[in-house]
Amino acid sequence: MKYKISNNVIRRLPRYIRFLELLEASGAVRVSSKELGELMGLTASQIRQDFNCFGGFGQQGYGYNVQQLSEAMSEIMGISHERKAIVIGAGNLGKALIANFKFKKYGYTLTAAFDVCPELVGKKFSRTPVYHIDKLEEYLMKNKVDVAALTLPGETASGVVTRLINSGVPGIWNFTRLEFPATFGPARVENVHFADSLLVLSYALKEKEKEEGGEA
Amino acid sequence: MKYKISNNVIRRLPRYIRFLELLEASGAVRVSSKELGELMGLTASQIRQDFNCFGGFGQQGYGYNVQQLSEAMSEIMGISHERKAIVIGAGNLGKALIANFKFKKYGYTLTAAFDVCPELVGKKFSRTPVYHIDKLEEYLMKNKVDVAALTLPGETASGVVTRLINSGVPGIWNFTRLEFPATFGPARVENVHFADSLLVLSYALKEKEKEEGGEA
């Protein structure tokens, strides 16, 4: 199968996957674009348009089979692939990923974490060993890693990214304040910026206040 | 001033703000849409289109004044407003926000954290006191809170959101696996789903592999 799907649709797919999981968990077998739209705050036609990008799935008068749709989307996003991840920086955010993020669910095995802190190096968190960052290249020589999550201070991130790329790590999941381009040399990058969503929330609050209090 | 800006543009503004800050920090006084586009991986016309949504800013042949543009965008997003935030859940992710997130920079003062864990309640992290979640209503009666960051387990999130809304908290910054609608009764919600960005990264890796290895 060949998919050529726009970036915007790709960015919407994880959200579809989440809602379809909820539907599956609630025992739903099929769903119409209207029902799914109501659940997700989208119009039925937006949903049909998105789904048409990768061949439809739906049947006139039936709607979508929840499980099939969910599986097809997971396949498009590559969840079925077995991938390995590491976490660089075992501070609070790194620990949050190590302890709470469901890597398995998204097709990843978390194999190691790296840090510089003597109190962390040599320990295990939720069965994930923490190695000294000096051992990064040695580790990457012996172990294939698909994605490195960057949960280290921004100041040190650039150097680490260069090392990861030089060692052939293809995926960077960046939580630092730096922003790397989506295609960064041979690597692919996703930047997660907490501040962006807080600012969007601030904007929504400002608009709400305007509506309620009249023009400020 | 009246802004009526599309949601998509609003979602792009925080990214502009970040890049303009970088430019300011590097000493740049003005920037053309072409230069900014190259920096951000956008076309000059995309940038001009976005900026036209809120009245332009640019001058023909001059480009944009970096500081003015940055300030105007910060104002649009409501960064100048003085807001109060609390964190619900002082586990690893909550601690990461408390210790590392620059609330001040985005117009917020972090005033308190809440948890149920006896080892955390009564302590302070980076000068932020942790109270028992049972004290939430009492706290909210005495203290105006604009935004509550939810860094607690998903199972308990719904109940806490109801309590927050009943106590008049207008903004929910949700890091749990649940998704709340952007407009949830009187509240406004931003959902941060780490998994979404990992899935988009997985997709990019799959596409990269296809390009390099031919059709799998």
Of B78, B99, B181, the CB nearest to A206: B78
Asked if A204 and B188 come within 8 Å (Cβ–Cβ), the reply is yes
Give residue A55's pLDDT: 63
Q: Start-end ranges of CATH 1.10.10.10 in chain A?
A: 7-76
- Mind telling me how many Å the CA of B70 is from chain A's nearest CA? 14
pLDDT surpasses 70 at B96 = yes
pLDDT surpasses 80 at A60 = no
pLDDT surpasses 50 at B1 = no
Confidence tier at B213 by pLDDT (50, 70, 90): confident
Give residue B60's pLDDT: 67
Confidence tier at A216 by pLDDT (50, 70, 90): very low
- Reduced to 3 states, what is the DSSP secondary structure of residue A108? strand
CB contacts of B190 in chain A (<8 Å) are 197-198, 200-201, 204
Q: Which residue has the higher pLDDT, A8 or A98?
A: A98
Asked if B198 and A147 come within 8 Å (Cβ–Cβ), the reply is yes
Which CATH code is given to the segment(s) A7-76?
1.10.10.10
Q: What is the pLDDT of residues A71-112, one digit of tens each?
A: 888 988 888 779 999 999 999 999 999 999 999 999 999 999
Q: What is the pLDDT of residues B52-95, one digit of tens each?
A: 776 666 666 778 889 888 888 898 888 877 999 999 999 999 99
Asked if A190 and B204 come within 8 Å (Cβ–Cβ), the reply is yes
pLDDT surpasses 90 at A2 = no
pLDDT surpasses 60 at A199 = yes
Give the mean pLDDT of A19-41. 90
CB contacts of A147 in chain B (<8 Å) are 198, 201-202, 205
- Label residues B25-52 b or e (16+ Cβ within 10 Å = b): eeeeebbbbebbbeebebeeeebbebbe
Cβ-based neighbour number of residue A164 at 10 Å? 23
Give residue A1's pLDDT: 46
Measured CA to CA, the distance from residue A103 to residue A84 in angstroms comes to: 9
Asked if B100 and A108 come within 8 Å (Cβ–Cβ), the reply is no
Whether residue A205 lies within 8 A of chain B, CB to CB, comes out as: yes
User: What class has domain A83-195?
Assistant: alpha beta
Q: What is the pLDDT of residues B5-31, one digit of tens each?
A: 788 888 889 999 999 988 998 899 999
Which parts of A116-204 are beta strand (E)? 124-125, 128-132, 147-150, 171-174, 183-184, 187-191
DSSP state of A183: E
Pair A197, B192: CB distance under 8 Å: yes
Give residue B7's pLDDT: 81
> ipTM of this predicted complex?
0.92
Whether residue A182 lies within 8 A of chain B, CB to CB, comes out as: yes
Give residue B54's pLDDT: 65
Closest CA to B149 of B110, B194, B119, B120: B110
Give residue B216's pLDDT: 45
Q: Which string of DSSP letters, residue by residue, matches chain B? A: ------HHHHHHHHHHHHHHHHHHHTT--EE-HHHHHHHHT--HHHHHHHHHTTT---BTTTBEEHHHHHHHHHHHTTTTS-EEEEEE--SHHHHHHHHH--TGGGTEEEEEEEE--TTTTT-EETTEEEEEGGGHHHHHHHS--SEEEE-S-HHHHHHHHHHHHHTT--EEEE-SS----SEETTEEEEE--HHHHHHHHHHHHHHHHHHHH---
Pair A135, A114: CB distance under 8 Å: yes
Nearest-by-CA chain A residue for B197: A190
- Mind telling me how many Å the CA of B199 is from chain A's nearest CA? 6
Asked if A188 and B198 come within 8 Å (Cβ–Cβ), the reply is no
Q: Start-end ranges of CATH 3.40.50.720 in chain B?
A: 83-195
Give residue A51's pLDDT: 82
pTM: 0.91
Cβ-based neighbour number of residue B196 at 10 Å? 21
Do β-strands B128-132 and B124-125 pair in parallel, antiparallel, or remain unpaired?
antiparallel
Q: Which residues contact A138 (CB under 8 A, 6 or more apart)?
A: none
Give the mean pLDDT of A45-51. 87
Cβ-based neighbour number of residue A73 at 10 Å? 19
Asked if B198 and A205 come within 8 Å (Cβ–Cβ), the reply is no
Measured CA to CA, the distance from residue B136 to residue B145 in angstroms comes to: 11
Touching B: A residues 35-94, CB under 8 Å: 41, 76-79, 81, 83, 91-93
CB contacts of A192 in chain B (<8 Å) are 192, 194, 197
Q: What is the pLDDT of residues B133-175, one digit of tens each?
A: 999 999 999 999 999 999 999 999 999 999 999 999 999 999 9
Whether residue B144 lies within 8 A of chain A, CB to CB, comes out as: no
Pair A76, B199: CB distance under 8 Å: no
Q: What is the pLDDT of residues A119-178, one digit of tens each?
A: 999 999 999 999 999 999 999 999 999 999 999 999 999 999 999 999 999 999 999 999
Please state the φ and ψ torsions of residue A118, each to the nearest 5 degrees: -60, -30
Of B11, B78, B205, the CB nearest to A205: B78
Residue type at position B93: L
Asked if A105 and B195 come within 8 Å (Cβ–Cβ), the reply is yes
Q: Which string of DSSP letters, residue by residue, matches B14-34? A: HHHHHHHHHHHHTT--EE-HH
Q: Which two tokens stand for residue B197?
A: 């960005």
Closest CA to A96 of B192, B116, B111, B190: B192
